[in-house]
Structure 1
Amino acid sequence: MEISQLLNIPRSTVQYRRTSSFELLKQFLEVHADEWDG
């Protein structure tokens, strides 16, 4: 799945803010990782 679809934002925004978006996504995954273990 595209990050833009996952976060429901325009693809151009993902391209423009790729690094910061990736950091936010990584933080989000780290926060919610425990919820998905089951």
Structure 2
Amino acid sequence: MAESVTCYCRTSSGTAISLDAARIQKMHNVFMAEKLLK
């Protein structure tokens, strides 16, 4: 799942991936945590 997120961001905004990688990872972790709690 994380791979598709990074792929999507890389294609939509090439250089932004390096800047937003940490934020994307954090958002993904939060999403997975909420999914597990539900």
TM-score normalised over the length of structure 2: 0.50
Runs of at least 5 residues in structure 2 that lack an aligned partner in the other structure: none
Q: How far is the alpha carbon of 1:33 from its aligned partner?
A: 1.4
Runs of at least 5 residues in structure 1 that lack an aligned partner in the other structure: none
Q: What is the percentage of aligned positions where both structures have the same residue?
A: 6
TM-score normalised over the length of structure 1: 0.50
RMSD: 2.4
Asked which structure has the greater RCO (Cα within 8 Å, sep 6+), the reply is 2
